[in-house]
């Protein structure tokens, strides 16, 4: 029972990395320049690599012989626990960068706390991942500044993306009842401890980028409970296609 | 957008103690971005410990028409190569 709860908690971390990694990998070969294309694909690979370490851990915890591929490719939409933010589409480069920045800052602060977890496996994953994520938020933060403080058009597109994606930020900090028991046992991360800091850091960078911080107090949620946006089904259809068509196939 | 970005030459030192070597070129809007792009394009497989970037326009190249004056006189001066010595085995990177 204990390991089931822990798996539930880890899905809440790992599925964000999986779905954002999948979203970014859609851009492989389509980036605005060769250099940004490679950078975004590198980030996608980092995230998918991190996902694997979490899923391997979940596979180890499982008593019914689950593999990392099973949990990546054979769950149903309702069983994925990623936040709505990471499934939002690659509308344009500004959306990609703002989505990335919102996630990266959270991800970095989260991993920093996870390094103090009582679970040694999660600490090891956090120690490895945080070096990669430290670069991710430098990359996305630099681009937020360039777009916001760039041309009139880039500023307007960045502001638009910011206004549209802002409503998805609050969900990053949500926790389920099961999550709470894992957090109380010292394994999970108390996200409220850095929430204020998160919004301060984001707002400071947005100001530097000459962008307006939205004053929206209404936030979207649902992904963490498995209730996803209309985009999620399409992501899974593409991602799961090979395993569903050729069950148990291997590379 | 890309046509506005200048071209940069990238030099990477693969190990401490070795010299920076030319790895290739890339586009970037400024030097900071050139270093970050170099990280993604050239050092993602742990190739380096240090990166230099220089805007390509700042490099002065020799003119191929001058090759006769620049290089031909060295053709018959084999004694300028240090090939008449035996190098000890433990001297690396020569």
Structure tokens at A40: 């975004």
Which residue from A243, A245, A246 is spatially nearest to A69, judged by alpha carbons?
A243
In angstroms, the Cα distances linking A109 to A137, A139, A198, B28 are 11, 16, 8, 29
Asked if A33's CB is within 8 angstroms of B36's CB, the reply is no
ipTM (interface pTM)? 0.75
- Asked, for residue A213, whether it belongs to a domain, the answer is yes
User: Could you tell me if residue A158 is inside a domain?
Assistant: yes
What was the pLDDT predicted at A25? 96
On whether residue B70 sits in a domain, the answer given is no
Q: What's residue B1's pLDDT?
A: 47
- Angle between helical axes of A195-208 and A93-114 (0-180°, round to 10): 140
Mark yes or no for CB contact A39/B26 under 8 Å.
Answer: no
Rounded-to-integer distance, Cα A235 and Cα A150, Å: 32
Torsion region of A52: left, alpha or beta (phi above 0 gives left; psi -120 to 50 gives alpha): alpha
In this predicted structure, the answer to whether residue B91 has a pLDDT above a threshold of 60 is yes
Check pLDDT > 90 for residue B86: no
Tell me, yes or no, whether B53 lies in a domain: yes
A34: chain B residues, CB-CB within 8 Å: 26-27, 41
User: For B17, which DSSP code?
Assistant: T
Q: Quick check: A42 and B40 CB within 8 A?
A: yes
A10 belongs to a structural domain:
yes
Nearest residue to A199 (alpha-carbon basis) of A166, A174, A160: A166
Assign 3-class secondary structure to B69-89.
HHHHHHCCCHHHCCCCCCCCC
Q: Is A143 on the interface with B (CB under 8 A)?
A: no
B81 belongs to a structural domain: no
In a domain, B76, yes or no: no
Q: What is the pLDDT of residue B15?
A: 86
pLDDT, position B47: 78
Q: Looking at the domain assignment, is residue B50 inside a domain?
A: yes
Residues of A in Cβ contact (< 8 Å) with B30: none
User: Are the beta carbons of B28 and A138 separated by less than 8 Å?
Assistant: no
Mutate to test the interface with A, among B40, B42, B43, B51 (most CBs of A within 10 A): B40
Give the domain CATH number at B45: 3.10.20.520
Are A34 and B36 a contacting pair at CB < 8 A? no
Assigned domain for A185 exists: yes
- Residue B92 counted as domain residue: no
- pLDDT exceeds cutoff 80 at B83: no
The predicted pLDDT at position B3 comes to 62
Instruction: Return the C-alpha torsion angle A81, A39, A148, A212, nearest 10.
Output: 20
Give residues with Cβ within 8 angstroms of A199, minimum separation 6: A169
- Structural domain of A42: 2-245
In this complex, is the C-beta atom of A33 within 8 Å of any C-beta atom belonging to chain B?
yes
Give a yes or no: residue B9 inside a domain: yes
**Domains identified in chain A, total number:** 1
Question: For residue A59, is it within any domain?
Answer: yes
Which residues constitute the domain of residue B40?
2-62
Decide if B73 is inside a domain.
no
Number of domains in chain B: 1
Interface test with B, best of A35, A43, A135, A139 (most B CBs within 10 A): A35
B40 contacts A35? CB cut-off 8 A: yes
Q: What is the model's pLDDT at position A26?
A: 95
Task: For residue A226, tell me if it sits in a domain.
Answer: yes
Low-confidence ranges of chain A (pLDDT < 50): 1
**A34, B5: Cβ pair inside 8 Å?**
no
Tell me, what CATH number does A85's domain have? 1.20.1260.10
What pLDDT, in 10s, does the model give residues A66-120?
999 999 999 999 999 999 999 999 999 999 999 999 999 999 999 999 999 999 9
Q: What is the pLDDT of residues B15-51, one digit of tens each?
A: 888 899 999 999 999 999 999 999 999 988 777 899 9
Whether A251 is covered by a domain: the verdict is no
CB pairs under 8 A between A and B: 30
> pTM for this structure?
0.89
- A152 to chain B, any CB pair closer than 8 A? The answer is no
């Amino acid at each position: 029972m204990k390991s089931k709860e822990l798996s539930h908690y880890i899905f809440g971390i790992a599925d964000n990395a999986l779905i954002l990694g999948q979203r970014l990998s859609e851009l492989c070969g389509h980036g605005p320049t060769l250099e940004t294309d490679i950078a975004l694909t590198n980030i996608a690979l980092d995230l998918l690599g991190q996902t694997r370490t979490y899923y391997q851990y979940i596979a180890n915890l499982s008593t019914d012989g689950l593999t990392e591929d099973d949990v990546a490719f054979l769950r149903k939409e309702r069983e994925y626990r990623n936040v709505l933010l990471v499934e939002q589409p690659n509308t344009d480069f500004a959306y990609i960068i703002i989505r990335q920045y919102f996630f990266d800052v959270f991800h970095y602060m989260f991993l920093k706390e996870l390094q103090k977890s009582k679970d040694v496996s999660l600490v090891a994953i956090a120690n490895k991942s945080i070096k990669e994520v430290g670069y991710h938020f430098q990359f996305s933060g630099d681009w937020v500044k360039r777009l916001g403080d760039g041309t009139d058009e880039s500023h307007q597109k960045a502001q638009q993306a910011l206004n549209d994606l802002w409503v998805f930020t609050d969900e990053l900090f949500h926790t389920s009842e099961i999550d709470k028991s894992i957090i109380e046992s010292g394994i999970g991360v108390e996200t409220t401890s850095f929430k204020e800091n998160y919004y301060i850091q984001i707002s400071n960078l947005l100001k530097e980028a000459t962008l307006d911080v939205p004053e929206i107090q209404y936030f979207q949620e649902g992904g963490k409970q498995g209730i996803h946006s209309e985009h999620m089904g399409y992501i899974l259809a593409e991602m799961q296609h090979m395993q569903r068509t050729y069950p148990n196939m291997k590379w | 957008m890309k046509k506005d970005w200048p071209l940069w030459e990238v030099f990477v030192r693969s190990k401490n103690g070795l010299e920076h070597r030319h790895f290739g070129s890339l586009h970037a809007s400024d030097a900071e971005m050139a270093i970050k792009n170099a990280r993604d394009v050239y050092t993602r497989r742990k190739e380096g410990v240090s990166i230099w970037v220089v805007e390509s326009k700042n490099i002065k190249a020799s003119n191929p028409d001058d090759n006769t004056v620049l290089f031909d006189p060295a053709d018959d001066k084999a004694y300028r190569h240090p090939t008449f010595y035996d190098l000890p085995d433990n001297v690396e990177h020569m």
